[in-house]
Amino acid sequence: MADLFEDYRLGPGWDEMFGEPSMPRPTYEALHATLQPLSSAELGIRAEVLARAFLDQGITFALKGVERPFPLDIVPRIIAADEWRVVEAGVGQRVKALEAFLDDVYGAGQVLADGVVPRRIVVTSAHFHREAAGINPHNGVRIHVAGVDLIRDEQGTFRVLEDNVRVPSGVSYVMENRRAMAHVLPEVFAATRIQPVESYPGQLLRALRAAAPVGISEPTVVVLTPGVHNSAYFEHALLAREMGVELVEGRDLVCVGNEVAMRTTAGEQRVDVIYRRVDDEFLDPVHFRADSVLGCAGLINAARAGRVTIANAVGNGVADDKLLYTYVPDLIRYYLNEEPILPNVETYRLDEDPDVLAHVLDRLDELVLKPVDGSGGAGIVIGSQATDEQLAAVRERIEVDPRGWIAQREVALSMVPTLVGNRLRARHVDLRPFAVNDGEKVWVLPGGLTRVALPEGALVVNSSQGGGSKDTWVLTESATLADEPSAVDPPIVVVPSPHSPDPGPAGGPVAVQQQQQQQSARSSGAPPC
């Protein structure tokens, strides 16, 4: 029988499964052993079951108005416990530094006065909102949820690609991927100890409740969605459902006298914490876009008055700005007095030094060019894959607005075997771990979303660019079943109660049976009418 990995070729970039051809790394041995004996037809059937389940459950994202299932590849990505400890610490460190930075730029501005970050970078950022100045969250948290995009470079080192501290999405797929994979690959789950991911909604709810305005002991938390036509609507509904809170749209909210309330069948009910999945610009027509119907007039004033908490805080986008990203290692040193645990990707700033700009313009075909305020992979130009016309166009745009762009070294992202057609092929992946900050501690969900670029050689993994995802497994410290960790909860003992015999229908059962048998014997041959 043809081996699934028979003609699997290592691609450019770190292969997560194989150190060298046909030699799986220790973390992947159990998975490799399970997959190898499967025929491609068998794997294809399981992949189909997976796709069907996603479609039926409506685990979709909307692309140009059409709902599509978010493709989940059947081969998971595995991260060893010791590798994960580094990621976890690095993500937590970054979130703490960015929190300190946001508090600073919307407050005293010490970091600007000290010249660690040039003032012009902050004030020219498209997502720096003066409206957010002076809104001081009760427990100090502005980044309740962060999604930090990581990649592994050619040496297998995790590097930060960008930070998302506005409205990072994708965590619902982490949870749904795990559920679906446990159904189609139960044998691998039985042989591997994987850290569970289902505690995310609970952690999120805890953090949101902790952020409630002062004096509210039993806060009402809601999730604010733009509505069913938003690409991440599935995620909004899932988070609301799993937290057991209302999923509201802007038209469900009303703001009077700095109090926010939702319209219910029993009248208006006060809302204390809004986990918003609506962008800043659409949140409050009084302060931002006057034509927005997705938000609620008066929200910002209510937040300023300390009567409602908006999570994530308004104005966080200044920390997402890709030019600011180049300063994050300095911010970690400045605020935390620590060395960055996770390195950035080598990045050029184009607005400081004319020589750097000239150097970059000379080498556009070797670099990756990114607009600083884009998200979802929009506007990215990969020099080596771009046409001359595309390079000329981006050159023109960079020359006009060097502040609006960064240039990065093209990193060959690490690769994981992925089902393409009916064979396994190496495809590039990234990783978005999710962090939740409750004000006491930054908790990082073990795993995160691994996105995979499905076209061969493609480096852009975003779902809006036709990417798929993989279930991401973080192994426990003791990865084998033999080292059973001691149970924290006492096991539940079920004492089976003895079954009393079913009395059955009253009347002479034997006689009835005989009659029925005779009846069927008589009518045999003719179909029952």
Q: Contact with another protein (CB under 8 A): which of 33, 41, 55, 358?
A: 55
We find the least distance from the C-beta atom of residue 264 to another protein, in angstroms, to be 6
Residues 6+ apart with CB under 8 A from 511: none
Q: Is 297 in the site for another protein (CB under 8 A)?
A: yes
The secondary structure of 352-368 as a DSSP string is S-HHHHHHHHHTGGGEE
Using an 8 Å Cβ cutoff, are 195 and 447 in contact?
A: yes
Q: Is 30 in the site for another protein (CB under 8 A)?
A: no
Q: Report the residue number, 242 or 410, with the smaller CB distance to another protein.
A: 242
Contact window for another protein (CB under 8 A) among 50-58, 273-281, 343-351, 444-452:
50-58
Q: Report the residue number, 296 or 332, with the smaller CB distance to another protein.
A: 296
What mask of x and - would describe binding to another protein in positions 92 to 131, judged by CB under 8 A?
----------------------------------------
Beta pairing, strands 415-420 & 442-444: unpaired
H or E, element range at 382: strand 381-382
**Nearest-angstrom CA–CA distance, 242 and 204:** 10
We find the least distance from the C-beta atom of residue 352 to another protein, in angstroms, to be 43
Residue at 395: amino acid letter: R
Q: Is 57 in the site for another protein (CB under 8 A)?
A: yes
Using an 8 Å Cβ cutoff, are 91 and 444 in contact?
A: yes
Q: Is 268 in the site for another protein (CB under 8 A)?
A: yes
Q: Is 176 in the site for another protein (CB under 8 A)?
A: no
Q: Report the residue number, 48 or 366, with the smaller CB distance to another protein.
A: 48
Burial of 283 from C-beta contacts in 10 A (0-12 / 13-18 / 19+): buried
The runs of H, that is alpha helices, within 78-148 are 81-105, 110-113, 119-123
Q: Report the residue number, 257 or 527, with the smaller CB distance to another protein.
A: 257
**Nearest-angstrom CA–CA distance, 400 and 173:** 39
Query: How many positions of this chain bind another protein (CB under 8 A)?
Result: 29
* Rg (alpha carbons) of the chain, rounded to whole number: 27
We find the least distance from the C-beta atom of residue 454 to another protein, in angstroms, to be 23
Q: Report the residue number, 34 or 57, with the smaller CB distance to another protein.
A: 57
Q: Report the residue number, 167 or 238, with the smaller CB distance to another protein.
A: 238
Question: Nearest Cα to 302, choosing from 347, 339, 272, 346?
Answer: 272
Q: Is 2 in the site for another protein (CB under 8 A)?
A: no
Q: Is 267 in the site for another protein (CB under 8 A)?
A: yes
Helix (H), strand (E), coil (C) string for 463-490: HHHCCEEEEEEEECCCCCCCCCCCCCCC
**Nearest-angstrom CA–CA distance, 49 and 366:** 41
We find the least distance from the C-beta atom of residue 467 to another protein, in angstroms, to be 23
Q: Is 259 in the site for another protein (CB under 8 A)?
A: no
Using an 8 Å Cβ cutoff, are 183 and 74 in contact?
A: no
Question: Nearest Cα to 43, choosing from 5, 80, 9?
Answer: 5
We find the least distance from the C-beta atom of residue 369 to another protein, in angstroms, to be 38
Q: Is 265 in the site for another protein (CB under 8 A)?
A: yes
DSSP single-letter state for residue 132: G
Contact window for another protein (CB under 8 A) among 24-32, 184-192, 260-268, 512-520:
260-268
What mask of x and - would describe binding to another protein in positions 219 to 258, judged by CB under 8 A?
--------xx----x---xx-xx----xxxx-xx-x-xx-
We find the least distance from the C-beta atom of residue 339 to another protein, in angstroms, to be 43
Q: Which residue, chain included where needed, has tokens 């918003």?
A: 276
Interface contacts to another protein, rule CB under 8 A: 55-58, 227-228, 233, 237-238, 240-241, 246-249, 251-252, 254, 256-257, 262-268, 297, 301
